[in-house]
Chains A and B, each alone.
Chain A
């Protein structure tokens, strides 16, 4: 199969070239973060400076409250992710298994909201937060994100695939619906929960528009907003800026590299979203 082998070489060529285009900006970011400021503005651009200035990373953390931003992001992201897993899995179980009036109608409303652009709910949510004096607080970011129609939908779909024989036995033994959820459905759906969790994790960590709308005090900013803010303040100090940028994408990159398969599954699952 000569043609097959040639196709493979072509594929490798295309994908290798593509990978360079995808990764080079990041490599350039790291290279720039290790240069002296004077070495940044050179033409033609040079990959390395005189020496690798790792101290740029220290200088950067002294210059602006990187760790505060980082901790704020960790706090908001962890709370939102944990909350969405709890609320989505409980509601997903209810929609998948429990019988009550208007169940399917209510689930239909959840489904219908999947297509609503977040910008449509953004304005009243802001007015609500303003009314309750929550603007410029992390609560404004966390409260509207405690519940997700998409997460509810995703986990309901997964729960539907769990055979009902398991819970029949539990029911006969006198297990309550919550007991069945907690002892059977949650342990069995770890992969689906992990997939949803990773999606929420990344979405919340990278969220920009909500922190932009709500947060004004520097010490409360999340990493994305803080970084954007820093860019406004030190727009010419590229090495420091690139050092901060590098550190900001490190956590998600590490998580991704360890959980690549979950990601792939998540993306394929989200392809089900329109179904």
Chain B
């Protein structure tokens, strides 16, 4: 009885019991699928047929698949434009918010409402804004004598339209992280610099930029990772078109897996995405090891 009693207060028993539900879900829906996708990427499995071993066939196919090349390129294009533009704008806005001004709560809310709205809702609104004949955007452009393009149905401009909407939606999120980073810089540094006669630009250049660098690096890596996972905005606004001009990696994974039911090939494409994200995460991790902890 005494031994049973002692057991009752043992960490190990409770750890096991309290961890069990979490661990089960974790193993079944996260750990197992990561391995399964890897295994599937070496299989030929077109539903509803049975899977068979295919060796490296799926990965060889990646190199010959012109669509994959285009999709990969489109993803890089999306990332290379949306990340720098988004970061520059959100940093700029955070700097403005950090001026100890009034109405900060209002501004913050205004920039954050797109972040919490569903992409479905935002796509509905922006599709109407992009409407070439009756849309708001081309109307505003006409004030400046510019004849706006057909946006979402133009192979040249559809990706630009997608990028504008994506940047607009996520601006508030990165702005808040930058703001937190800015507010963690002690005021005393700025006061000391002001006493030494440093102008605004000098203070920004020699205090803000270096001390904000870890935040900037973190936000940038996260933004690149997220940009490689873009899907909703593309699916909802352009369906990857016109002529695949906005098809991105995840859209292609979705198509192969859930429209063509080619599970093996979709898994191989998913692993390409995985390795890109892995590489970027390690980059962030190594830098943290080198520079030390921040926040």
B117: contacting residue among A176, A206, A273, CB under 8 A: A206
Which of B53-61, B68-76, B169-177 touches A? B169-177
Interface pair A275/B173, CB less than 8 Å apart? no
Interface pair A90/B277, CB less than 8 Å apart? no
Interface pair B33/A123, CB less than 8 Å apart? yes
Interface pair A43/B120, CB less than 8 Å apart? no
Cα separation A264 to B176 with both chains bound (whole Å): 7
- B residues less than 8 Å from A122 (CB atoms): 33, 253, 257, 270
Interface pair B134/A40, CB less than 8 Å apart? yes
Cα separation A20 to B215 with both chains bound (whole Å): 27
A271: contacting residue among B97, B133, B225, B295, CB under 8 A: B295
Hey, what's the 0/1 contact readout for A122-146 against B, CB within 8 Å counting as 1? 1111111000000000000001101
Identity of the chain B residue whose Cβ is nearest the Cβ of A14 in the assembled complex:
B96
A227: contacting residue among B103, B120, B168, B266, CB under 8 A: B120
A206: contacting residue among B36, B100, B112, B119, CB under 8 A: B119
* Given A25-B129, A119-B250, A209-B232: A253 in contact with B116 (beta carbons within 8 A): yes
Identity of the chain B residue whose Cβ is nearest the Cβ of A229 in the assembled complex:
B120
Interface pair A100/B15, CB less than 8 Å apart? yes
A67 within 8 A of B: no
* Given A117-B277, A177-B14: A268 in contact with B180 (beta carbons within 8 A): yes
- A residues less than 8 Å from B103 (CB atoms): 12, 15
With a 10 A CB-CB cut-off, give which of A99, A113, A125 has the most chain B CB atoms.
Answer: A125
Interface pair A206/B139, CB less than 8 Å apart? no
Interface pair B118/A100, CB less than 8 Å apart? no
Interface pair A228/B22, CB less than 8 Å apart? no
- B residues less than 8 Å from A86 (CB atoms): 21
B121 within 8 A of A: yes
A253: contacting residue among B30, B33, B113, CB under 8 A: B113
Identity of the chain B residue whose Cβ is nearest the Cβ of A18 in the assembled complex:
B93
- A residues less than 8 Å from B125 (CB atoms): 25-26, 28-29, 242, 245
Chain B contact residues, majority secondary structure:
helix
- A residues less than 8 Å from B34 (CB atoms): 113, 116, 120-121
Which of A2-10, A49-57, A58-66 touches B? A2-10
Interface pair B257/A87, CB less than 8 Å apart? no
- B residues less than 8 Å from A115 (CB atoms): 225, 277-278, 281
- B residues less than 8 Å from A45 (CB atoms): 134-136, 139
**A interface, how many residues as a size bin?**
35 or more
Interface pair A98/B96, CB less than 8 Å apart? no
Which of B4-12, B144-152, B154-162 touches A? B4-12
User: Which residues A224-275 have CB closer than 8 A to chain B?
Assistant: 224-225, 227-228, 231, 238, 241-242, 245, 248-249, 252-253, 256-257, 260, 263-264, 267-268, 271-275
Interface pair B120/A248, CB less than 8 Å apart? yes
Interface pair A93/B257, CB less than 8 Å apart? no
Interface pair A123/B270, CB less than 8 Å apart? yes
B193 within 8 A of A: no
A23 within 8 A of B: yes
Cα separation A146 to B26 with both chains bound (whole Å): 9
Chain B nearest CB from A228 CB (Å) reads 5
Chain A nearest CB from B38 CB (Å) reads 9
Chain A nearest CB from B231 CB (Å) reads 6
Hey, what's the 0/1 contact readout for B168-196 against A, CB within 8 Å counting as 1? 10011100110011000000000000000
* Given A124-B40, A253-B116: A267 in contact with B22 (beta carbons within 8 A): no
28 A-B contact pairs sorted by A residue (CB < 8 Å) = A8-B101, A10-B96, A22-B171, A22-B172, A41-B133, A91-B23, A94-B19, A98-B12, A99-B11, A99-B15, A100-B15, A115-B225, A121-B30, A121-B34, A122-B257, A122-B270, A123-B263, A143-B29, A144-B25, A144-B29, A146-B25, A152-B22, A206-B116, A212-B235, A248-B118, A260-B108, A263-B116, A267-B177
Given contacts A25-B126, A206-B120, 20 further A-B contacts (CB under 8 A): A15-B96, A16-B107, A19-B110, A22-B168, A22-B171, A42-B134, A87-B22, A113-B34, A117-B228, A119-B253, A123-B40, A123-B266, A125-B33, A128-B33, A178-B18, A208-B120, A228-B120, A249-B118, A271-B181, A275-B288
Residues of chain A whose beta carbon lies under 8 Å from any beta carbon of chain B = 3, 7-8, 10-12, 14-16, 18-19, 21-23, 25-26, 28-29, 32, 40-45, 86-88, 90-91, 93-94, 98-101, 103, 109-110, 113, 115-128, 143-144, 146-147, 149, 152, 174, 176-178, 181, 202, 205-206, 208-209, 212-213, 223-225, 227-228, 231, 238, 241-242, 245, 248-249, 252-253, 256-257, 260, 263-264, 267-268, 271-275
Q: Which 7 A-B pairs have the closest CB atoms?
A: A147-B25, A124-B36, A121-B33, A91-B22, A124-B33, A19-B110, A206-B118
